[in-house]
Structure 1
Amino acid sequence: MRSLGVVALLVAAACSAPPVGPAPLPVVPPPTPVPSAAAAGPQAEFATWAAEVASRTDVPARALQSYAVAESRLASLAPSCDLTWVTLAGIGAVETDHGRHGSRTLLADGRPSQPIVGPRLDGSRFESVRDTDAGEFDGDATWDRAVGPLQFIPSSWADWATDGDDDGRADPQDLDDAAVSAGRYLCAEGGDLDTDVGWSRAVLSYNDTENYLRSVQAQAAAYAEATADL
C-alpha cells in the first residue's frame, strides 16, 4: 500500500529508502475475550482486556478493542499469518496516534472526533496519486488523499475494505473497519508474520523506509513489553 499516513508521509519525505533488514518480532499474548450480548458488537467482548491494557499503555481502550477484534478475525481469515494486535497498534501509533492526530479524540463508535484526511497527493510534496474514488472518501475529486486512523489510500481501501464491527458497511474512518482491513492487507503482503522477515515485510509494505519500520517496531515492542504478563 505504501503508507501515506499523516505521520508516515513526513517520515518518507525526510529520508531515503536504503536496503532494510528485518526488525525483531514483537511477541505478545493474545487478547482475552469475555462473552457479551451480541447486540453490543464484537468489540465489546474485549472491553475488560482493553481497559487493563489501556492502563499500561498510551493507547485508547476503544482503539485496543478494534485491534483485538482484528487479531481475532485474522486468526480465522488467515490462520497462517499470525497477526497480533501490537502490530496494528504500532502502525496506528505512527500513522495517527490511534485516531488522535491533531487533538482529535477517538469516539465510542471507533471513529475520530473529526475525519482524518491526509495531504493532497499532487506531487508537490509527496508522490503524485490521481483521484481514484471521485472524492467519495477524501473529498478530493482531483487527487487522492490518505484517509482514516490507519491512513488508507482510497484505491487500497477499495481492494481491502472490510466491515469490522458488523454494522453493515465498511468505513475507513471507522477504526473497527480499518483495523480488520489493514490486517488482511498485512497478511497478504507479509505472509507469515510470526517471523522477523515476514513481519518486517508486512510493515514495509505500508511504508518502505527504515525509519518507518523501526518506529513501528519500537511502538509494537513497547506495547508487548507492557502487557507481557497478561
Structure 2
Amino acid sequence: MKILGTRAASVSRQGLCTALLVASLSAAVGAAPAHSTADHDDPAPTPGNPQSQPHGSPNLTLPDLVPRPGASGGPGRDLGTGAVPDGATGIPATALAAYRNAEKIAKEQWPDCHVPWELIAGIGKVESEHAANYGLRSDGSTEKRIIGPALDGGQFALVRATDGGRWTGDPVYDHAIGPMQFLPSTWASYAVDGSGLGQKDPNNIFDAAAGTARYLCAGGLDLRNQADIDKAVLRYNNSQDYLNAVLGWMRAYQDGKAVPVADPPAAPGTPAPGRTAPSRGSDTTPAEPPRRSPQPSPSGPGPERPGKPTPTPAPKPTPGKTTEPKDPGKDKPVPPAPLPAGRLDRVGDGTLKATVGQSFTARAQVRAVDRNGKPVAGTKVRFEVIGDTEARFPGDSRTVTVVTGKDGSAAAPTLQAGGKAGDFTVRATVVGRDVKPVDFAATVEALPAPRADALERVGTGALKAKANASFAEVRVRALAKGKPVQGVALTATVLAADGKTPVKTGPFFKDDKGKPVRALTLPVTGEDGEVILSGLFTGAETGAYTVVLGTESGAQLVLHVTVTAT
C-alpha cells in the first residue's frame, strides 16, 4: 500500500504539472498575427504518416520535475557518465550549435515559418537526449549510431522498410534513425545539408536538426501560432504527452535555462532509443542485411556437400618466441572524422579596387579552419556582393559558392566592375554553419576625366553685342594632340580686358535661380569634342571684356568680347 500510495502521488503531481505547463504555454504564446496561406515549398505530411506513429520510447519527463529514480534518455536507456539527466537543462555544445544553425537556415529558406531553435531542441531532448549518450562529436556525428527498434507491429507501429536498409541495416522493417529519430521515408522527403559538408545524413545532428526545421515548417505553418506549433510537433509523435514534453522543454530553453555543456563521451552499453539494455556481447546497432550465399559458376562444379571440415594447421611455434594471432586491423587505426570549419580567415590584404567597366585585379579569398586552426577542405564558402553596385561575378550573378581546397582556401571568381562608381561589400560565409562572416571592402572608381591640351573656337567674327542684350552662341572644341576629345569639362569666367582681373559689372551668366554670376561650368564636350557657350548677357556697362575658358588639365582659350552702346 505504501508503494502504491507513493506512486499515485507521483503520478498526480506529474499530471498537475502537465496541466499547469499546458496552460502557461498557451498563455505565453498568445495570439499571433495571421500567417500567409500561400503555397509552401514543401507539402505538409499526409495524415497518419508513419513518422507520427509510435516509433520508439521518447523521454516524456517534464523540466519542472526532479529526475525520477533510474532516469534515462527513454525507457531502458542508461544515461551513463557525463550525459544530460532528465530534469537538467544542459545541452551539449555541438547540439546547441546545430539547433541554432537550423534556426538560421530556416530564416533563410522558410522565412514565414518562424521556427525557434528552442522548439527543435525540445524535440532533440525528448527523442535522444541531444545524442548525449552516443558520443556526440564536434562535426555533428556520433561515436555510436542511434537507431530505434524495428517497427514490426509489435510494441510499436508496423512500417515496412522503404530504403532497402540503407540507413538502418534492416531491409525488412523501418527504424527511426539519428539524433532526431527520423524515419527513412520522412528523411527522404525533408532532408537538409545542415552541416555544409555536401551530404544529407540523418545521423549528423547538424543535418538532422535542419531537417527537423524543414519538417516542422512544411505546408506553410507559422510557428508564431500555438495551433501551428501543436500541429507541427504532433507530426513527430501524435501524442498529447509527447506534445506536452516537447513544449515544456522549449519553454524552459526560451526562459534562458539552456546551459551549454561539453560534448560527453559515449556511455558504455547505451542501447538505441526504445530498446532494453543489451546483454553482454551484443551490439547496439542492427545486424547488417543478410548476404546471399555464393552462387556456383555456370561452368564450374556445384556447391560442395556438407562434410567433415578440414582443420587449418596451427602455425609451428618458434623456440623461445610466442606466436600471437595477427589482427589485420591492428596496424590500421581508423582516423578520426575531420572537424568542421569553425572560422574563416582573410587571405591577403583584402583590397578590392577597379575602374568603371573594368575587371577587378584582386579577388576575395578566405581560408576555412577548424577550432584548432587547422585548414578544412571541402567546405562550401558563399561569396555575395552586397550594396548598390553593378559589380557582378561571371554569369551576372551577385552570389557564388566555392569549395575549399586541401589548404582550406577558397577564392571568389573575378568580379566585373560594371558601369557604376561607388563602394560596396563582398561577404564570405560558410554554407550551413553559423560561422562569423568575413567582409571585403570593394570600390569601383570612376573613369579618369579626359584630358585636353588645347581649346579652339569654332568659327570667326568679332564677339560684339549691345548693352542690355546678349551675345550670340560660341562653339568651342577641346583637342588632345590635335584630335577632338569627348567628355571634357570646361569652365567660363568673365574678366576684365586684361584677362586677369575679376569684374563686378559687365557681361554675366545666370545661375539656376536666375541670379547674375560671372563664372559657369559648361556641359562636357560631345563626340566631336565641341561644346556651345551660350547665355552670356551684356549688362548695362559698355566696354571691352574677356571670357576665359579653361579645363582641369590647364588648357585655356581667351575670348575677347565688347559691349557697345544701344
Q: TM-score, normalised by structure 2?
A: 0.31
Letter of the 1:168 counterpart:
G
The answer to whether the 8 A contact 1:5-1:96 is kept is: no
Which structure 2 residue ranges, 5 or more long, are not aligned?
A: 1-50, 61-87, 259-566
SS in 2 for 1:97: helix
Relative contact order, CA 8 A, sep 6+: which one is greater?
A: 1
Of 192, 214, 219, 2:244 maps to 214
Of 154, 160, 168, 2:184 maps to 154
The answer to whether the 8 A contact 1:115-1:173 is kept is: yes
**Counterpart in 2 of 1:86?**
118
The answer to whether the 8 A contact 2:55-2:151 is kept is: no
The answer to whether the 8 A contact 1:120-1:144 is kept is: yes
CA–CA separation in structure 1 for the residues paired with 2:220 and 2:120:
13
Deviation per CA, 1:162-182: give whole Å up to 9, x if none. 111110111110000001111
Aligned residue runs from structure 1 range 183-222, under 5 A = 183-189=213-219, 191-222=221-252
**Counterpart in 1 of 2:175?**
145
CA–CA separation in structure 1 for the residues paired with 2:136 and 2:53:
21
**Counterpart in 2 of 1:2?**
52
The answer to whether the 8 A contact 1:117-1:138 is kept is: yes
The answer to whether the 8 A contact 2:56-2:148 is kept is: yes
CA–CA separation in structure 2 for the residues paired with 1:111 and 1:2:
25
Aligned residue runs from structure 1 range 49-68, under 5 A = 57-68=89-100
Letter of the 2:123 counterpart:
I
Deviation per CA, 1:120-160: give whole Å up to 9, x if none. 00001111000100100011001000000000000011111
Deviation at 1:105, TM superposition (A): 2.5
The answer to whether the 8 A contact 2:149-2:176 is kept is: yes
Q: Would the alpha carbon gap of residues 206 and 193 (structure 1) be closer, same or farther in structure 2, given more than 3 Å must change? A: same
**Counterpart in 1 of 2:151?**
121
**Counterpart in 2 of 1:99?**
131
SS in 2 for 1:59: strand
Deviation at 1:104, TM superposition (A): 2.0
Deviation at 1:6, TM superposition (A): 3.9
**Counterpart in 2 of 1:32?**
none
Q: Would the alpha carbon gap of residues 70 and 200 (structure 1) be closer, same or farther in structure 2, given more than 3 Å must change? A: same
Which structure 1 residue ranges, 5 or more long, are not aligned?
A: 12-55
Residue-pair matches, total: 181
CA–CA separation in structure 2 for the residues paired with 1:74 and 1:216:
19
**Counterpart in 2 of 1:15?**
none
Deviation at 1:110, TM superposition (A): 0.9
Deviation at 1:111, TM superposition (A): 1.6
Deviation per CA, 1:37-86: give whole Å up to 9, x if none. xxxxxxxxxxxxxxxxxxx9410111011011110110111111000100
SS in 2 for 1:70: helix
Q: TM-score, normalised by structure 1?
A: 0.74
The answer to whether the 8 A contact 1:117-1:145 is kept is: yes
Deviation per CA, 1:9-59: give whole Å up to 9, x if none. x87xxxxxxxxxxxxxxxxxxxxxxxxxxxxxxxxxxxxxxxxxxxx9410
CA–CA separation in structure 2 for the residues paired with 1:167 and 1:4:
32
The structure with the largest alpha-carbon Rg is 2
CA–CA separation in structure 1 for the residues paired with 2:209 and 2:138:
15
CA–CA separation in structure 1 for the residues paired with 2:97 and 2:192:
16
The answer to whether the 8 A contact 1:4-1:151 is kept is: no
Deviation at 1:7, TM superposition (A): 3.0
Q: Which has the higher helix share?
A: 1
The answer to whether the 8 A contact 2:55-2:157 is kept is: no
Letter of the 1:185 counterpart:
Y
SS in 2 for 1:106: coil
Aligned residue runs from structure 1 range 31-42, under 5 A = none
**Counterpart in 2 of 1:52?**
none
CA–CA separation in structure 2 for the residues paired with 1:195 and 1:3:
24
